[in-house]
Amino acid sequence: MAVIMLVAGFYCAGLVFGADAPVKSAGKAKSSKKAVPAVAVSTAQVVPLAPVPAPKIRIDSDVWDFGNIPQGNKVSHLYRISNNGDADLVISRVRSTCGCTVAEISTKTVSPGGETSVEVTFDSKYYTGVIEKSLYVESNDPVNPNVMLLVYGMVEAPLVNLDMTLMSRPYIQGGSPDSQRIMINNRGYNEIKINKITSSSKRYRVVLVTDSVAPGDYIFSTINVEPDKKKKKPGAPPRKENIYIEIAIPIEEIQ
């Protein structure tokens, strides 16, 4: 459909009004048009800056599950670290949150496309149950300057963890009996019943204060030492004797 626009003109008192007609008057009139200031348009193009070379750290696997181990064992693992950036990756240190976990870096500076490794060793001497430890790799990566490494697993407590310490060294002088104290320490999680204590020599006689040691507790016992009636040859080393402890601990019934 065509649209036709009609322009009407009116003549009145010497004035002409119309859509396309200029405005005129009988007398002189000042022009109502104002000058429009010129606007400068820049034709300069924005050039993007070239990217700055930077390192980019990458770890193949940041989680290590060492499984189930007996208490007292040490386990080690290698974390592989690579540099996927276009500048040297500098590892300043590997920070551990626990003295039980030690880390050693093979190479601290890794060139682009290169690789290094961090050996982590966990010592379970003082731990039992579920263990979770963290380490942090600190580097000059501008995006990830601190990368966390996770170590976890299960440390199984031993059925018996008992130690004995001699509090003083036996010393015989003038043929008179001597004595010394022995500390029996229960470091396990089960109560220990002491059935009897014997020795490899009749010269040693152990006197027990109690016949049970609670978990985490300790007791003192006395060892009476009789003088050695046998004459020793000059320069002969002292004889070594053994003390034997017979203990009983509760265990769960095997189904």
Q: What is the CATH number of domain 162-248?
A: 2.60.40.10
Whether 137 and 105 have beta carbons less than 8 Å apart is answered as no
Measured between alpha carbons, how far is 91 from 139 in angstroms, rounded to an integer?
A: 4
Whether 197 and 211 have beta carbons less than 8 Å apart is answered as no
Whether 80 and 62 have beta carbons less than 8 Å apart is answered as no
Measured between alpha carbons, how far is 181 from 192 in angstroms, rounded to an integer?
A: 19
Retrieve residue 145's tokens: 């300057």
pLDDT tens profile 176-196: 567 778 888 887 777 888 888
- The answer to whether domain 57-156 and domain 162-248 are alike in fold is yes
Max mean pLDDT range (42-51, 79-88, 161-170)? 79-88
Return the residue matching tokens 């010269």. 203
pLDDT tens profile 99-154: 999 999 999 999 999 999 999 999 998 898 899 999 999 999 999 999 999 999 99
Q: Does the domain formed by 57-156 have CATH 3.40.640.10?
A: no
Tell how far CA 232 is from the center of its chain: 58
Question: Given a cut of 90, is residue 78 above it in pLDDT?
Answer: yes
Q: Which of 133, 123, 151, 150 is nearest to 67 (CA)?
A: 151
Tell how far CA 162 is from the center of its chain: 31
Considering the entire predicted model, what is its pTM?
Answer: 0.55
In the prediction, which pLDDT does 77 show? 97
Whether 80 and 55 have beta carbons less than 8 Å apart is answered as no
Q: Who's near 40: CB < 8 A, 6+ residues apart?
A: none
Task: List the domain boundaries for the chain.
Answer: 57-156, 162-248
Instruction: Count CA within 13 A, CB hemisphere, residue 152.
Output: 6
Measured between alpha carbons, how far is 126 from 157 in angstroms, rounded to an integer?
A: 10
